[in-house]
Structure 1
Amino acid sequence: MTSGVIRRSVTAWAAVAFATFGTAAWGNPEPNQLNMTKGVSEWSPYALHMVGLWVCVAIGILVFGAMFIAMFRFRKSRGAVAEKWTHSTKLEIVWTVVPVIILIVLARLATGGLTSFADTTGSEMTIKVTGYQWKWRYDYVDYKGKAVEQVGFVSRLEESSDRTRQLKSNLDPEKIKVDGYNTYLLDVDKPLVVPIHTKIRFVIVGGDVIHSWWVPALGWKMDAIPGIANAAWTNIKEPGVYRGQCAELCGQDHGFMPIVVKAVPKAEFEQWLATQQEEAKAAKAQQTAQTAPAPANQG
């Protein structure tokens, strides 16, 4: 294999790794982050993840510990002689029953988490999320039992990142920052604004191909599939800006459709929502006036 072929192979694999770990998998990165995002919502898989992690660590210590003890303490050079027996019924019962119990406990925890995550009853708010190539549309359906009319918008990659990503733009991605945080390919022109301490139901669909709506801090991701309405919920406890990305390969600009959720106090959200409704009504009235037929001449 020539050096040129090797170099091209390495470059190709590096590009694949960046596409996988540098975009969707790191939609909301933190300095020196090695673990799953803890999450800011009422329901998060972080606790279950940590239980599974420590169970695996404990099993690894036991298994590899026994293996290394057997390798070094009872090696042939120290005069150890192998035992001549076929099996131990007691040991076989132990290493069969204990793993079964562990799996049952983990399965019960996982099932409880999934049923809680899927239960959208009692939601105070509904937002419809539609994935398009390559942007998201958000429509506010209802809030506190009242229908929300004409509040919806398209959210796409913000302008500076869009210019920088173009071939031969000669622009520096490191210079795109918000409050000192690099937001290259992670920011949008219009974030999704939601209230904290509110159970929000998301109805997620696809407008053309399959997408996947994922904000790591919310603790879940959901596919946006044409013709199928998937549902999930969140109840954000802390105000802030939470970022994510499409997690389903959906076309050439898959890596350029980030998600930004801006969680604010209820009073601030209600003021924002009222402003959006007034602007929508004004825009509709203006459009109606422009399309209305001119009055017929009298006389």
Structure 2
Amino acid sequence: MNAKKANAIVAKAATGLLAALASIPAWADSEPVRWQLNMPQGVTRTAENAYDMHMLMLWICVAIGVVVFGAMGYAMVKFRKSKGAKPDVEFTHSTKLEVIWTVVPILILVVMAVPATLKVIEQYDAKGHEMTVKVTGYQWMWRYEIVGEDVNFISRLDRESDRIRQAGIRPDPNANPHYLRDVDNPLVLPTDTKIRLVFTADDVIHAWWVPALGWKQDAIPGIINEAWTEIREPGTYRGVCAELCGKDHGFMPIVVKAVPRAEYEAWLAAQKAGDLAEAARIAATAPATAGGEG
């Protein structure tokens, strides 16, 4: 390899590293970015819990890897056969060592399991919620019902994305930045409000997944599953059906618009009054990137 080619490779690697480092602030967002090296932090406590556990497990695994592979590397170099090293029978058949390397992994697993279990339990603890949203999956759309508010509507792939898809046109990323990820009627939710969501389906199994919220939940015919969320930042958060549910599985996106409580109440009033244009206008006020797009 000549020096010119080596320099080009180094320059390319350095560019990639700088791009990755530049993307670190965007990890708090939910929209994937080039060279993203980590999962998004999300905008809810459940998302934060998932991120914290991910990082805890990651660093535990890194520490274990350093110790194990470091010891392997040292042993292979220090005690190689070419240097005349011979097996130590007392070491390789030590009951004490076997007990140690059996007990230590068990302790590590317990240390990892306890906080993970507590956070999973919290994820399903919807006590104290202020409102309930029923989500029903269909082939290939979602129905949202604000329980107790007489608001019930269908949310499906937006018409422009559907037109481009069916026409077989190559989408322009500038004109259609969220091709196949926009909907005609987004779900509008208030920020700083504990919201219980219940999930079911009317035909086959679906899964409602918005990465920014930190979890996904199966929607199964005849079964009610539940989860909760409390969105901290106004913004537009996108998701998808995460369960293969038929030929148009890839064309039933999810869009959640989080707005301050006053704007949510105005949207709710417009929905109740059947003023869909006003409801759409209010939904459009949700920031496109505050807190990140999922």
> Would you say same fold, with TM above 0.5?
yes
SS for the counterpart of 1:43 is helix
Aligned counterpart, 1:76: 81
CA contact (8 A) 2:46 2:215 kept: no
Q: Deviations over 1:76-96 (max 9, x none)?
A: 222323323342233222212
4+ runs of 1 displaced by more than 3 Å?
Answer: none
Aligned counterpart, 2:55: 50
Which residue identity does 1:51 align to in structure 2? Answer: L
Residues 1:95 and 2:101 are matched in the alignment: yes
The CA RMSD measured in Å over matched residues stands at 1.8
Aligned counterpart, 2:125: 119
The TM-score, its normalising length taken from structure 2, stands at 0.79
SS for the counterpart of 2:208 is strand
SS for the counterpart of 1:95 is helix
Aligned counterpart, 2:179: 184
Aligned counterpart, 1:23: none
CA contact (8 A) 1:209 1:225 kept: yes
Q: Deviations over 1:117-174 (max 9, x none)?
A: 1111111010010000001111111xxxxx312x1211111122112222x5334252
Q: CA deviation at 1:54?
A: 1.0
Aligned counterpart, 2:36: 33
Structure 1 unpaired stretches of 5+:
1-26, 142-146, 282-299
Distance 1:171 1:94 in 2: 60
Aligned counterpart, 2:161: 161
Distance 2:56 2:145 in 1: 37
Which residue identity does 2:51 align to in structure 1? Answer: Y
SS for the counterpart of 1:93 is helix
Residues 1:250 and 2:256 are matched in the alignment: no
Count of matched residue pairs: 244
Distance 1:280 1:207 in 2: 27
Which residue identity does 2:99 align to in structure 1? Answer: I
CA contact (8 A) 1:176 1:184 kept: no
Q: CA deviation at 1:271?
A: 1.2
The TM-score, its normalising length taken from structure 1, stands at 0.77
1:64 to 49, 56, 69: 69
